[in-house]
A and B are shown apart, each in its own frame.
Chain A
């Protein structure tokens, strides 16, 4: 059969050079953008405070003793004498940095019955150096004011991460 039915295949020397250049360009694009430009998501003179907790607030209502009549209406296997509401209090946290309010957040309890933990995760970028930090947390909607408070002066190095958490077993608000 004639060559008129075959597409031309021979490449010129210039085509081979162009091919090499295109492969090189592909490699350069990958090589460069796989590591350049360098990315800095925090300035060199800044530090980071992470305010985060996952804490279950106090019950929203008081437990109460059921009357004999109320107990009698319940199936025998469910006649617990004390009834406590499932819903938990939202948890409110306030953070002041250098005497200025930096965060105020009220977190609702999780779960369909609102009986789970309240959680907060917030990043606060601050200048490195000495910082006066005040943290207040309230986990009881029936009370007034803040059940937990902590104040501290910390010195933060550039790029340092300070975690403000809540751990009831360690006395409440923790700074680490």
Chain B
């Protein structure tokens, strides 16, 4: 029951290596690879702010657009020129962050079960981002805009939608009117509004969704994009001229790659590629998956309606309802099976999960049927009873994080939980009072929790900053926390290092000075 999982597949292991490289430079808590979604939100707002200003000051007509944007850089070098460059580079950054976020979530298989909603609502954002970005180029009406507008029209004409080809709108100078320009504006403003709406849906089923990255990371990204805008301002091509084909375009490959792709293959092939990609992403959650673990179950007799599981659940799977015992104002937790990931964080949050309860069979208010908290207490008692080492150590780990099996020694009792957030802090004290000399809690690196908040809640509970908290009477020198992801169980890894530190400390303990009273088994 408390065994390690299979090691991650090679692609995920390679991504973890990359993340750990970034962790070394930024620290795990501030690594951009662990905040890709919130960085995307930051860049979205940067695009909105810079875009609103630029839109307010430019002329959105066929005749005036080009001159007004060129003049922007001359007459308002800071508010106009730099913001324009920032707007473009932020769009590039958005696409890069989007691709990285999508790749990471795919590698972590975050398209299954309760995460299906976030995955499916994320798919349309890809299309909306590119529609918005490509439409933005047209508003300048330079040769790049001309190329992109015509290429887009020709691409759309490959679909049997319109009786008259859209590309006929760009045959001659006279064909492009201010009315058509209004359509450009509609595309460039309408798509981001739809995008915002989609992003709102995207995070609907997440508790405490991270929509703002840490301040240091925000600052780093803003300074980087600002420096780029200053060092390499975005420049205009020659004005659009429909009598000639634009030559030698400085193409933004991150945003406009679809045009050369359609030209190098065919419009139909490009459509097929886009449709296949979006279809693949959309059906991924519906492909056969391993059977999910049984979801959390509430026991009315042991649920006192304290709301801690409701507050701590990372996926908003727990709601509160009137308690069936009929007492006025009393509530009970209710688990939505469609949203529950069976992470066990609710079990760690439940005050009834304390192993010090005198019941022979520990039954808590909310529990995982596949790994009940009562079994954890029973197995902890049994393993501590069988350890013959003078200073036994109990290790609580995370099945998603570093494997515990490589921890060698006959002084160790190992318990790999679904998530360390499942561990009620009172189990640390219980282990110490039941014969353990020290307790090692192994959790994932900051920002690396498979269930989003388990690592964060575990730390806060152990520090006494979150309920249920570890009692202050527990000697801290007998507790060690390791932050170790999957694949970090080696001798040189943080898990083994933490174990060495703990062993070294407990080896100096004098049993007679232990202030904790022994626990009495029921």
Interface residues of A (CB under 8 A from B): 1-2, 4-9, 11, 15, 18-19, 21-24, 26-27, 29-31, 33-36, 38-42, 44, 47-48, 50, 52, 54, 110-111, 116-117, 119-121, 123, 157, 159-161, 163, 165, 176
Interface string of B230-270 (1 = CB under 8 A from A): 01101000000011111111111110000010010000000
Chain A residues, CB < 8 A from B252? 33-35
Contact A52 B168 (CB under 8 A): yes
Contact B89 A5 (CB under 8 A): no
Shortest CB distance A108–B (Å): 10
8 chain-A/chain-B pairs, Cβ below 8 angstroms: A1-B476, A7-B29, A7-B445, A8-B27, A9-B29, A26-B93, A119-B163, A123-B154
B96 contacts partner chain A, Cβ-Cβ < 8 Å: yes
CB within 8 Å of A: which B454-469 residues: 459, 462-464
Chain B residues, CB < 8 A from A15? 24-27
Binds A, one of B124-132, B353-361, B383-391, B479-487: B479-487
Shortest CB distance B514–A (Å): 17
In whole angstroms, how far apart are the Cα atoms of A121 and B162 in the complex? 12
Interface residues of B (CB under 8 A from A): 22, 24-29, 88-89, 92-93, 96, 147, 154, 157, 163-165, 167-168, 171-172, 220-221, 223-225, 227-228, 231-232, 234, 242-254, 260, 263, 445-446, 459, 462-464, 476-477, 479-481, 483
Contact A35 B251 (CB under 8 A): yes
Told that A34-B252, A54-B165 touch, could you supply 7 new A-B pairs with CB distance under 8 A?
A: A2-B479, A5-B463, A7-B481, A39-B249, A41-B263, A159-B247, A160-B243
In whole angstroms, how far apart are the Cα atoms of A23 and B96 in the complex? 13
Chain A residues, CB < 8 A from B168? 52, 54, 119, 121
Q: Which residue of B lies closest to A48 (CB)?
A: B245
Contact A121 B167 (CB under 8 A): yes
Q: Which residue of B lies closest to A165 (CB)?
A: B171
Q: Number of residue pairs across A and B with beta carbons under 8 Å?
A: 147
In whole angstroms, how far apart are the Cα atoms of A8 and B157 in the complex? 57
- Of A6, A19, A26, the residue contacting B459 (CB under 8 A) is A6
Q: Which residue of A lies closest to B460 (CB)?
A: A5
Contact B165 A27 (CB under 8 A): no
Contact B163 A11 (CB under 8 A): no
In whole angstroms, how far apart are the Cα atoms of A176 and B224 in the complex? 48
In whole angstroms, how far apart are the Cα atoms of A23 and B220 in the complex? 8
Contact B250 A31 (CB under 8 A): no
Q: Are A7 and B483 CB-contacts (below 8 A) given A19-B25, A31-B232, A161-B245?
A: yes
Q: Are A116 and B245 CB-contacts (below 8 A) given A41-B260, A165-B171?
A: no
In whole angstroms, how far apart are the Cα atoms of A15 and B260 in the complex? 39
Contact B172 A176 (CB under 8 A): yes
Contact B249 A19 (CB under 8 A): no
Contact A39 B251 (CB under 8 A): yes
- Of B171, B245, B251, B483, the residue contacting A163 (CB under 8 A) is B171
Q: Are A27 and B477 CB-contacts (below 8 A) given A35-B251, A35-B252, A41-B245?
A: no
Chain A residues, CB < 8 A from B476? 1-2, 4-5
In whole angstroms, how far apart are the Cα atoms of A38 and B225 in the complex? 22
Shortest CB distance B164–A (Å): 5
Shortest CB distance A38–B (Å): 5
- Of B26, B228, B242, B246, the residue contacting A19 (CB under 8 A) is B26
Q: Are A18 and B147 CB-contacts (below 8 A) given A111-B163, A116-B163?
A: no
